[in-house]
Structures are given as structure tokens and as C-alpha cells.
């Protein structure tokens, strides 16, 4: 049987702003619509952030999540993965609040503190749609994305109690060692799911050598105890997805991490990126995983045990 590849689609997110692409969804209706379309196109997992519907700013308000989660659940069988890294400006307690309310099958969990910067993006825009955007982007040269061992342990304890499986976001090789340390402390159960992240300013760069290095390190640390996926930010999105699928991994796309469908051309939607990566995966001779196959591969609790 052909290897199954899990496509994760990260639908909205915290890096880009409404000025940068009209396709970036930020109202509950648009987030739900694009998430459903992405699932129909082949995404088994939907990684979700919320935004303030009034101005597209990043929101951690559980009510903003609950405004789209039930609609997505009613229309798709996709696995819902809620971000716990949705703000660079507040505490881990605030960041966990949406997941505590919704008890999804999965949540992201960022595996180390780091610079997390996207200020170079500001130089590309003169006019901004909303007042908050320019300062938010420019000031990212000062943001510290805080994910201490204490923060990670708190998430493991409080969301682990809800039987939530984590997408362990690893932006550099040290984060794999942090994860190994936490596993040895008994914080996480195999199979763990690692998202190798390349191309964020503050993390490891998007070169294939780095993917091979991260994968080889993870093999050494976790053996057969893990599943893995690759997220390449910006222009690295599709090339690294193709490399990941070729190497036997899973892939993540979505407007959260790249607004483009090809060089210089904005994507019309999340679904367009899912269709493109699906073509790449199927063209390599692999099949995409259905949501239920993803549930089995990742040992998830099941869509009937969420609270939305």
C-alpha cells in the first residue's frame, strides 16, 4: 500500500496581516469557509488561529475560536489543531485558553524560546488597511517568542489532561533536544508528531541540508517513536514540502506561513495551496491521508471527544 501523507493546512495565523493579501481570512465566516475548502481539497488536519473580526488583529479570545469551530466540525471530518503559539506578546495561560475551551484533538506546542521576527516584511508596504498592522510587523525585531521548559511542562500537563496530542513545532535543532528532554521526563507519549519548521527569522534556514540534519537528529533521538512533517515559510513552502514527501514525511501548507502560490503570485486561498501540494504528493506516487487515517497515524483521541 502507498505511504499516506498527512497534509496540514494552517489557515490564518499571526505573521501576515490583512494588508498583505486579500485572501488571508480573518472573520469567523471566512476562516470557516477557507478551512472547509482546504479540507475538501485534501487537508486532513486544520491548524487554526483566530483573529479579531473587526480589524484582523491576532486574537486569543476563546469566543472568537468558538465562532468558527462548530461550523467547521459540522461540515468536515478534518482533525482540528488549535494554536497555543498565537501571540508573541502574552502569557502561555492566555495562549492555552482557546484550547482549554475547545479541547481539540491536537494543539501546536512550540519547543523553545527564540527571536521570532518578520519586520523585513514591513518594507514592502506603504499603505496599511488597519492601524495596528505596521507597528506589529515592525516591532517584531524585538519580540521574544517565550516557550520555556516551565511553559512547555504547563501545556503538557494542562492540555495533556484533555488527551490533546501536540504538533511539536521545532524551529531549530536545539528544539529537538528540548523535546527529547521533555519526553525523558515523561511529559509526552509516543507517537509524537514533530513539525520541522524552516525559514522563520530566528530559526534555522530553509536549506535541504538543514532538513536532512533535522531528520537525522530526530531519528537518532526518537527512533520509531515519532511522525514528522515539514513547514517551509515563504518561498520555501512548496520546495520543502516536495522534499519532505520525497523523504517519507508529511507536509504543512497554508496562508499562515506563505501568502503565495508561486513566485510573486499571491494564492487565492488556502485550498489552492492544498491542491498544489496534493498534486506534488500524488505526483511522487504517494496517497494523501484521510482525517481518519491521520487519526490512526498520530494516535488521536477522536473527533467525538472535543467540546465544540
Question: With binding defined as CB under 6 A, does residue 13 bind ligand KMH?
Answer: yes
Is residue 137 involved in binding ligand KMH (CB under 6 A)? no
Rounded Cα–Cα distance for residues 133 and 16 (Å): 9
186 in the Ramachandran plot: left (φ > 0), alpha (ψ -120 to 50) or beta?
left
**Residue whose CB is nearest to Zn ion in the complex, by number:** 83
Q: Which of 171, 222, 237 is nearest to 8 (CA)?
A: 237
Grid cell digits, residue 36: 472547509
Task: Determine, following the binding rule CB under 6 A, whether residue 169 of this chain makes contact with ligand KMH.
Answer: yes
* Binding residue for ligand KMH, selected from 17, 76, 108, 258, defined by CB under 6 A: 108
Answer with the entry of ligand KMH, Zn ion, none that 280 interacts with (C-beta below 5 to 8 A by kind). Answer: none
Give whichever of 200 and 240 is closer to ligand KMH, judged by the CB atom.
200
Binding to ligand KMH (CB under 6 A) within 110-129 occurs at: 110
Residue 83 CB, shortest distance to Zn ion, in Å, is: 4
Question: With binding defined as CB under 6 A, does residue 37 bind ligand KMH?
Answer: no
Q: Which helix (H) or strand (E) holds 9?
A: strand 7-10
Quick check: 172 binds ligand KMH (CB under 6 A)?
no
- Asked if residue 303 has a cis previous peptide bond (ω within 30° of 0), the answer is no
Q: Which residue is nearest to ligand KMH (CB)?
A: 85
List the single partner that 84 binds among Zn ion, ligand KMH, none, CB under 5 to 8 Å by kind.
Answer: ligand KMH
How many other CB atoms are there within 10 angstroms of residue 267's CB atom?
22
19 binds, among Zn ion, ligand KMH, none (CB under 5 to 8 A by kind): none
**173 vs 287, beta carbon nearer ligand KMH:** 173
User: From the list Zn ion, ligand KMH, none, which binds 112 (C-beta under 5 to 8 Å, kind-based)?
Assistant: none
C-alpha grid cell for residue 109? 506546542
In sequence order, what are the residues at sequence separation of 6 or more whose Cβ sits closer than 8 angstroms to the Cβ of residue 75? 32, 36, 39
12 binds ligand KMH (CB under 6 A): no
Residue 83 near Zn ion by CB under 5 A: yes
Q: How far is the CB of 215 from ligand KMH (least distance, A)?
A: 18
Counting residues that bind ligand KMH (by CB under 6 A) gives 13
Give residue 198's Cα distance to chain centre.
Answer: 12
140 binding partner (options ligand KMH, Zn ion, none; Cβ < 5 to 8 Å by kind): none
Q: Are 211 and 230 in contact (CB under 8 A)?
A: yes
85 binds ligand KMH (CB under 6 A): yes
Minimum Å gap between C-beta 15 and ligand KMH is 6
Rounded to the nearest whole angstrom, what is the least distance from the CB of residue 189 to ligand KMH in the complex?
20
Question: Hey, which residues between 193 and 212 contact ligand KMH (CB under 6 A)?
Answer: 197, 200
Largest CA distance in the chain: 52
| 3-state helix vs strand vs coil in the chain, percent to 5 | 45, 20, 35
Contact 209, 173 (CB under 8 A): no
Paired sense of beta strands 7-10 and 45-48, if any: parallel
Q: Are 71 and 32 in contact (CB under 8 A)?
A: yes
Question: Is residue 184 classed exposed, middle or buried when 0-12, 13-18 and 19+ CB atoms within 10 A define those classes?
Answer: exposed
Q: Minimum Å distance from CB 104 to ligand KMH?
A: 13
The separation between the first and the last C-alpha atoms of the chain, rounded to the nearest angstrom, is: 35
Chain residues in the site for ligand KMH (CB under 6 A): 13, 15, 83-86, 108, 110, 169, 197, 200, 256-257
User: Contact residues for Zn ion (CB under 5 A)?
Assistant: 83
Amino acid at each position: 500500500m502507498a505511504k499516506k501523507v498527512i497534509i496540514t493546512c494552517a489557515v490564518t495565523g499571526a505573521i501576515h496581516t490583512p494588508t498583505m493579501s486579500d485572501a488571508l481570512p480573518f472573520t469567523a465566516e471566512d476562516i470557516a469557509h477557507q478551512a472547509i475548502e482546504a479540507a475538501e481539497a485534501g487537508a486532513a488536519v486544520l491548524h487554526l488561529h483566530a483573529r479579531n473580526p473587526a480589524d484582523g488583529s491576532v486574537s486569543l479570545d476563546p469566543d472568537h475560536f468558538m465562532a468558527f469551530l462548530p461550523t467547521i466540525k459540522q461540515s468536515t471530518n478534518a482533525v482540528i489543531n488549535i494554536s497555543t503559539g498565537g501571540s508573541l506578546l502574552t502569557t502561555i495561560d492566555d495562549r492555552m485558553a482557546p484550547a482549554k475551551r475547545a479541547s481539540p484533538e491536537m494543539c501546536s506546542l512550540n519547543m523553545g524560546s527564540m527571536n521570532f521576527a518578520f519586520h523585513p516584511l514591513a518594507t514592502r508596504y506603504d499603505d496599511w488597511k488597519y492601524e495596528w498592522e505596521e507597528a506589529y510587523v515592525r516591532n517584531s525585531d524585538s519580540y521574544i517568542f517565550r516557550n520555556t521548559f516551565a511553559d512547555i511542562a504547563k501545556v503538557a500537563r494542562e492540555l495533556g489532561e484533555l488527551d490533546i496530542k501536540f504538533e511539536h513545532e521545532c524551529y531549530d535543532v536545539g528544539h529537538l533536544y528540548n523535546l527529547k528532554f521533555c519526553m525523558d521526563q515523561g511529559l509526552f507519549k509516543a507517537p509524537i508528531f514533530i513539525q520541522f519548521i524552516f525559514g522563520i527569522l530566528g530559526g534555522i534556514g530553509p536549506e535541504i541540508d538543514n532538513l536532512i540534519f533535522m531528520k537525522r537528529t530526530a531519528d537518532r533521538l526518537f527512533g520509531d517513536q515519532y511522525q514528522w512533517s515539514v513547514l517551509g515559510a515563504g518561498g520555501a513552502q512548496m520546495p520543502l514540502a516536495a522534499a519532505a514527501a520525497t523523504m517519507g514525511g508529511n507536509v504543512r501548507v497554508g496562508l499562515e506561513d506563505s501568502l503565495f502560490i508561486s513566485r510573486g503570485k499571491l494564492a487565492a486561498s488556502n485550498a489552492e495551496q492544498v491542491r498544489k501540494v496534493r498534486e506534488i504528493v500524488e505526483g511522487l506516487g504517494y496517497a494523501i491521508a484521510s482525517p481518519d487515517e491521520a487519526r490512526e497515524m498520530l494516535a488521536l483521541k477522536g473527533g467525538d471527544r472535543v467540546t465544540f
